[in-house]
Structure 1
Amino acid sequence: MEKTTGLTHFIKSAGYSIQGLKSAIKYEAAFRHELAAGLILIPAALYLANDKFEMALMIGSYLIVLVTELLNSALEAVVDRIGSERHELSGRAKDQGSAAVFVAIANCVMIWLILLIF
């Protein structure tokens, strides 16, 4: 298989990324819920932020939630692909992925509260 570089590589990579987003939207309810939250949070950040720095923090903290959810979903898919039997390490991996999403959401909430209340 010939390795692609430059613009061809960029275009192929963008295509794979779009495929990943489409599959997350189709198969991951949590990702759809978080996208729906963005329909409220992004316009709210544009309206409520006092400056561009605050706006970047608010929107950035929300995007970190999406990134973490995508990584968690990928991790869960790999664990499920390996086998359906219950295994301590598989459970631990899934729980830690879920914990990462929880921490990202807590981070987002804290940033918004700090910027809006204090």
Structure 2
Amino acid sequence: MKDKKKKGIGLTYAFNGLKEAFKRERNFRIHLYVTIVVIFFCLYFQLTAMEWVIILMMIHIVLIAELVNSLMERMIDYMKPEYHPQAKIIKDISAAVVLIAAITSIIIGTIIFFPKVFL
């Protein structure tokens, strides 16, 4: 018979993954700290519901991209600990995903916050 998975144990693994990412991944911590600052500004400037949705979606995309990038880097390091040009390309492309997400978030944040700060 198959062992039955205990209820909630998947959530335990997920929260452990977040804890490990926070503990081990400097860039993930930086993105979380920026998230806190952005949420403070959202509250301060009393964003509309649609603006909140857009900001939260961008936060989500950046954090997911950072986690996937960290995952890819660790998998490559595990599978190919010595330097390999193809491994470097995979890591670089994975990092580019985060860069694109972060730049897009900055652009969208600027579009939303600029009129509230300067107009």
Per-residue displacement from partner, 1:81-117 (whole Å, max 9, x unpaired)? 0122111211011001100000010111111112223
Q: How does 1:1-12 map to 2 (within 5 A)?
A: 2=2, 4=4, 8=7, 11-12=8-9
Q: How does 1:45-60 map to 2 (within 5 A)?
A: 45-60=42-57
Q: Secondary structure at the match of 1:85?
A: coil
**Normalising by the residue count of structure 1, what TM-score does the alignment of the two structures yield?**
0.87
Stretches of structure 1 that go unaligned for 5 or more consecutive residues are: none
Structure 1 residue 79 corresponds to structure 2 residue 76 = yes
Stretches of structure 2 that go unaligned for 5 or more consecutive residues are: none
Q: Secondary structure at the match of 2:103?
A: helix
Query: 1:109 matched to which residue of 2?
Result: 106
Q: Let me know the Cα RMSD of the aligned residues.
A: 1.9
- How far apart in 2 are the matches of 1:68 and 1:49? 27
- How far apart in 2 are the matches of 1:114 and 1:3? 52
Query: 1:91 matched to which residue of 2?
Result: 88
- How far apart in 2 are the matches of 1:65 and 1:89? 25
**Stretches of 4+ aligned residues off by more than 6 angstroms:** none
- How far apart in 1 are the matches of 2:34 and 2:97? 18
**Normalising by the residue count of structure 2, what TM-score does the alignment of the two structures yield?**
0.86
Which is further off, 69-78 or 84-93?
Answer: 84-93
- How far apart in 2 are the matches of 1:3 and 1:95? 40
Code of the aligned partner of 2:12: G
Q: How does 1:61-80 map to 2 (within 5 A)?
A: 61-80=58-77
